[in-house]
Amino acid sequence: MLDRNLLSDRAAISIITDKHREAAAAGIVEAFRPDTVLTVHWDGKVMPDSTGRDNVDRLPTLVSTMGETKMLGIPKIPSGTCQAEAQAVYNAI
C-alpha cells in the first residue's frame, strides 16, 4: 500500500512509527488507572522547535503516585507566563 502511494522509505517508516506510538500510548492510558491521589508536576523549558529554526516555550507535565510517574504531555505554550503555564497544565489534566 505504501508503494502504491509513492511514499519514500523514510515517509513510510514515519507513518508506521506514528501508528505504533499511537497504539502504545493508547495501551498505557488504558492501563493507568490509579486509585490513589495524584501529584501534578510541571516545569517550563525553552526548547528548539521541531522545525529547528526557532526556540519555543514547552511545558512538560507529569503526574505521579506511589512510585509511578506518567507524562501527560509536553505542549508548546505561547509564553512562559504563569497564566499560559496554568492553562497548559489545566488542558493536560
pLDDT of the chain, 93 residues: tens digit per residue: 556 777 788 887 888 888 888 888 888 778 777 788 889 999 888 888 877 788 888 999 999 988 888 888 888 888 888 898 999 999 988
The x, y and z cell numbers of residue 40, run together, are 501534578
The rounded distance, in Å, linking the Cα atoms of 75 and 91 is 9
> What predicted TM-score, i.e. pTM, was given to this entire model?
0.60
The rounded distance, in Å, linking the Cα atoms of 20 and 7 is 18
- Looking at residue 2, its pLDDT comes to 55
The rounded distance, in Å, linking the Cα atoms of 24 and 31 is 11
Question: Cβ distance 29 to 73 under 8 Å?
Answer: no
Edge-to-edge order in the sheet of strand 76-77: 45-48, 55-58, 76-77
